[in-house]
Structure 1
Amino acid sequence: MREYLKHYIDGHWVDPITPSFLELENPATEEVSGRIVLGSGADVDLAVAAARRAFPAWSATSREHRLDILAAILSEYEKRSGDLARATTDEMGAPAALASGFQIGLGHGHLTTAIEVLKTFPFEEQRGETLITRIPIGVCGLITPWNWPMNQVAVKVFPALATGCTVVLKPSELSSFSAAILAEILEAAGVPAGVFNLVFGDGPDVGAAMAAHPDIDMISFTGSTRAGVEIARTAAATVKRVTQELGGKSASIILDDADLAQNVASGVHGMMGNSGQTCSAPSRMLVPAARLEEAISIARDAAAEVTVGDPNGNFTIGPVVSKAQFDKIQTLIRQGEAEGATVVAGGSGRPDGLEKGYYVRPTVFADVTMDMAIAREEIFGPVLTMLSYSDLDHAIAIANESDYGLAGYVSGKDPAQTREVARRIKAGWVVINGAFDFNAPFGGVGRSGNGREWGEFGFHEYVEVKAILGHAPA
């Protein structure tokens, strides 16, 4: 059983001010898998004070010094990648192949990308007689979720450190195992005391204390829209910068000239990956009305290929993260059934033979309309909704009929048409024919948040722009 009963503050593992602990459950077995400490506002005060003390020296370090530190972190990350993968499987149920592959690989990719961006990032830029400087914003409070633990920690921590900021990290209490190992990685890499601090805990106690703290200069939050609203309200009193990557209900438009068999099947598999627990998942599949029946048949077959079971076994997906998540998903599946959507595959209840563990049947709904809850609410489980459209304008109207605007997907053979559709989708991140780029800015519009992460655009969230007028070139 894993135990992490101390916070990492000012270069040391320290006891909590007020001892309080939480037993964590393995979602595959419903048995206790470990115990973590739960922090408080007093622990946040200690961590913020350490980060504040470390900031002047760290922010004054050279680009070259920070590159050396990031290179050392990369070396340690690679040494511990197996440990990180096993922790990810234990804490949130990711299948071993996914955990050791894309889960940990995303963190690695963001770290190597941060190193490359730092080599040439324009901290100073002369414009006439004005010098534009980009200076580290200060102490950053980073609050991350459980669904892609290393991805969402890496995409915040590494740009913050690279730009000269100091950090207080609060991971989700459900994904604390991997965060603790990351703290060990940074310690082994020689990150100076106070530059990186880790406080375990929940949102109402630790997250709220960070958002309100007058000595935290910015908050970067990834999680639910509901929690994001509360963080923004709390942070407003101290006028700190708040960036947020929140929920999504992303549309995937399959155009009439697309290879239907390939794109419907890949859309089903893309939705089911990570047990559907991905904010940018293509959860609404839009297909031409004239080809709907064919698409339904393909989707049914593709869903049957998604196997569910022990994350340490040879299965496509494991459980969802918790009983609360399982119950929410089941409620929405039953609501979809009650509202008249057609169950193409799956449905409510556990898969056959799995009576223990928070396993959800890979579910596909057809005959879905935008007035149904399953078309509007983020389910955050392996549930795909299929909608039909009459023409291109209708498809785009359906895609944009959402409070969210995180991602969008377009599949088709005509480059001009796919580009036109991508431009018209209201979202911060739109993918044409499965493209991927670590340097592409990631973030949403509307109730999906604000700000951007990934690549150079992620660096800009951690700097203030300062103009020095009359600073003529020498």
Structure 2
Amino acid sequence: MSLLEVKSFAVGEWIAPDDKARMIENAVTGAPFGRAGNESLDVQAMLDHARQTGGPALRALTFHDRARMLKALATHLGKHKQALYDLSFATGATQADHTIDIDGGIGTMFVFASKGRREMPDSHVYLDGEVEQLSRTGSFLGQHIATSLQGVAVHINAFNFPVWGMLEKLAPTLLAGVPAIVKPATATCYVTELAVKIMLDSGILPAGALQLVSGGLGDMLDRLTCQDVVSFTGSAQTAFKLRSAPHILRNSIRFVAEQDSLNASILGPDAVPGTPEFDLFIKEVQREMTTKAGQKCTAIRRIIAPQAQVEAVIEALSARLAKTVIGDPQAEGTRMGALVSNSQKRDVLEKAGIIGTEAERVFGDADNFDVQGADPEQGAFLPPMLYHCADPDTAVRIHDTEAFGPVSTIMGYRDLDHAIALVNRGDGSLVASVITHDPEVAREVALGAGAFHGRLYFNSRDSMKESTGHGSPLPHMVHGGPGRAGGGEELGGVRGVMHYMQRTAIQGSPDILTAIGKKWVPGATEKPAPAHPFTRTFHDLEIGETIYSDPRVITVDDIQHFAEFTGDTFYAHMDDAAAKRNPFFPGRVAHGYLLLSFAAGLFVEPNEGPVLANTGLDTLRFMKPVQAGDSIKVRLTVKHKTPRNEEYGEVRWHATLTNQNDELVAEYELLTMNAFAI
């Protein structure tokens, strides 16, 4: 069988491996499978192509344009999943593993596409936080904005997730408007290469937006600038070597790392045998030990159970692990495939040997286990191996050695404080899980262990049917952790996008802030509406367009009728003497919601038109009470516009209610959906 020639994609061309390429083996058979690497890659030309071609093309698009691009890419990848599945079996992964890697990666792109449309503007500037008033009258204001970095993101990915590992970095990078150079781990780079080829062949991406290095990066990292980002997933040793390079330090080049992690799972003191939580705990640990053959950065490495339950956990977990069928990942019934390579198998055995100096192996024998449909001597197979540490307080290596495979160690705790101390011995982890039905246990662990973990996963009988699992990073939440875990925060929705943008404080007048952010700021110039704004389509409306209503007098009869009609007979609206005893009211006052209702009547256009629906109010505040005899009037200004689909968009209106003395009575933002055409 001919070897697979894994190519790089540089400056618009596919480049084959050279005579110094590294050999890749089939994880299942141990046989040579492919070659990758080319030392003659022109890395400077790649960087220039990304910065000069890919970057400008991406930055010319709005966040919504980029979000639509991500959705199209995810849809296109979804149509070619089978080819990715078929190739991925050579990595030792099962079909269930493919679902996590391939489907999970595609799903992550869809989430970022959705968040880009829902949480970011159809513009080029992201507004980070609210406007800050820096002067007495409001003529000088400040706001934080984020704009696209004008460099390139270099993604260095691990071997265990050749698709998800790429896409979870690529999605926020492209959404930020930054081109990427992807460098997958050589052992599984052939799967990444196929995914990249599928995306490039779609024609969806601008030229220069995505390049691929199959093999080594050469001196690329020494050519980066302050506008570039390195996003790394891998070992702590490699991360330290890369991030401490003088060029990286001297130029303050952003370095995002997700690295080694001694993740743990705590069995709550209430989760005794016979409870749903105990059974759930056993299921979660078994799944994390065997999924991807334990080759997950979030896998459970330390099992922390009440001392009285340790034997029960060992017995139940061993029984469940014994049912795990190991073998050819394509064979029917296989539940755990091979490790990625025989060198990885040797590394796991070496690390397991270190753990074995402080713990007793209580399940799994690497020299005696069954493999279905494959040769255990040739393929990179190992059984799940469970260790028990009787004295975790004096032990050191079980808390600092990660065997990146199907290996985990159980240890007992005396009380919850002891459990928290043990889980924190990992010196910074991506995730810790706590299986408990006691909310107070969860709170205590959150307070005691939160500082050492990027994510805390709590599960119980109440959430177990819909929970995503200890080991599943989600694009909505940050994925990273302090200390040993690298100090990074990937994913996390828009937080992940911000890794590839620069936060800048801008200061100036309301007109300046409005022009930069494309969002009207109170105090900025108002534009007289040429017609009632509710008669104008989404595209016709302009930011700052304003109308003023006629005044309306509030009467006692209005207040009385509203109270009787709604049932809101709160004393401040009904009893003048009681209202005067309240420090907030001068006497009997109008209902706040009466004022809002009258305000709507003052500015609404009743006839059918482009306004399709009122979808809500935001930031409502009542500033001054209104009594019978007072009048109110409304100012309504177009604050912001956001397209939602091909037919309509959301208009955010700034509304203020003032009284007969022009004093501010209430302020809020009205949301409507407006048609593009009528």
Q: TM-score, normalised by structure 2?
A: 0.66
2:359 corresponds to 1:341: yes
Unpaired stretches in structure 1, ≥5 consecutive residues: none
Map 1:41-60 → 2, pairs under 5 A: 42-54=41-53, 55-60=55-60
For 1:146 and 1:194, the matched residues in 2 are separated by 25
**SS at structure 1 position matched to 2:402:** coil
The 1:281/1:72 distance shift into structure 2, 3 A limit, reads: same
Map 1:3-402 → 2, pairs under 5 A: 3-14=4-15, 20-39=20-39, 42-54=41-53, 55-90=55-90, 92-99=91-98, 101-119=99-117, 120-121=119-120, 123-125=126-128, 127-128=131-132, 129-137=141-149, 138-187=151-200, 188-202=202-216, 206=217, 209-215=219-225, 217-234=228-245, 235-258=248-271, 259-313=277-331, 314-337=333-356, 339=357, 341-349=359-367, 351-352=369-370, 354-370=376-392, 371-402=395-426
The 1:374/1:360 distance shift into structure 2, 3 A limit, reads: farther
- Between Structure 1 and Structure 2, the one with more helix by share is 1
Contact 2:258 2:486 in 1 (8 A): yes
Structure 1: which amino acid aligns with 2:388? A
**SS at structure 2 position matched to 1:408:** strand
For 1:368 and 1:280, the matched residues in 2 are separated by 24
Cα displacement (A) at 1:351: 2.4
For 1:238 and 1:85, the matched residues in 2 are separated by 41
Structure 2: which amino acid aligns with 1:136? S
Contact 2:399 2:425 in 1 (8 A): no
The 1:25/1:182 distance shift into structure 2, 3 A limit, reads: same
- Corresponding residue pairs, total: 465
Contact 2:289 2:406 in 1 (8 A): yes
Contact 1:336 1:372 in 2 (8 A): no
Which 10-residue stretch deviates more, 304-313 or 81-90? 81-90
Q: Radius of gyration: which is bigger?
A: 2
Structure 1 vs Structure 2 CA RMSD: 2.0
Contact 1:247 1:404 in 2 (8 A): no
Cα displacement (A) at 1:315: 1.1
Contact 1:131 1:471 in 2 (8 A): no
For 2:22 and 2:509, the matched residues in 1 are separated by 55
Contact 1:4 1:180 in 2 (8 A): no
Q: Deviation string for 1:230-252 (max 9, x for gaps)?
A: 11012213321111001100111
Structure 2 residue aligned with 1:429: 455
For 1:382 and 1:60, the matched residues in 2 are separated by 47
For 2:206 and 2:432, the matched residues in 1 are separated by 40
Cα displacement (A) at 1:268: 2.3
For 1:49 and 1:451, the matched residues in 2 are separated by 27
For 1:5 and 1:402, the matched residues in 2 are separated by 37
The 1:289/1:175 distance shift into structure 2, 3 A limit, reads: same
Percent identical among aligned pairs is 27
Unpaired stretches in structure 2, ≥5 consecutive residues: 133-140, 272-276, 469-473, 511-520, 525-678
For 1:281 and 1:5, the matched residues in 2 are separated by 29
Contact 2:21 2:215 in 1 (8 A): no
Q: TM-score, normalised by structure 1?
A: 0.93
For 1:298 and 1:282, the matched residues in 2 are separated by 16
Contact 1:4 1:37 in 2 (8 A): no
Of 452, 461, 466, which residue of structure 1 is paired with 2:489?
Answer: 452
Contact 2:386 2:409 in 1 (8 A): yes
The 1:471/1:223 distance shift into structure 2, 3 A limit, reads: farther
Contact 1:22 1:35 in 2 (8 A): yes
Stretches of 4+ moved more than 6 A in 1? Answer: none
Structure 2: which amino acid aligns with 1:428? G
The structure, 1 or 2, with the larger RCO (C-alpha pairs under 8 Å, 6+ apart) is 1
Q: Deviation string for 1:426-450 (max 9, x for gaps)?
A: 2111111164443011111002112
The 1:456/1:177 distance shift into structure 2, 3 A limit, reads: same
Cα displacement (A) at 1:212: 2.0
Structure 1: which amino acid aligns with 2:266? I
Cα displacement (A) at 1:423: 3.5
**SS at structure 2 position matched to 1:406:** strand
Which 10-residue stretch deviates more, 343-352 or 245-254? 343-352
Structure 2: which amino acid aligns with 1:398? L
Cα displacement (A) at 1:422: 3.0
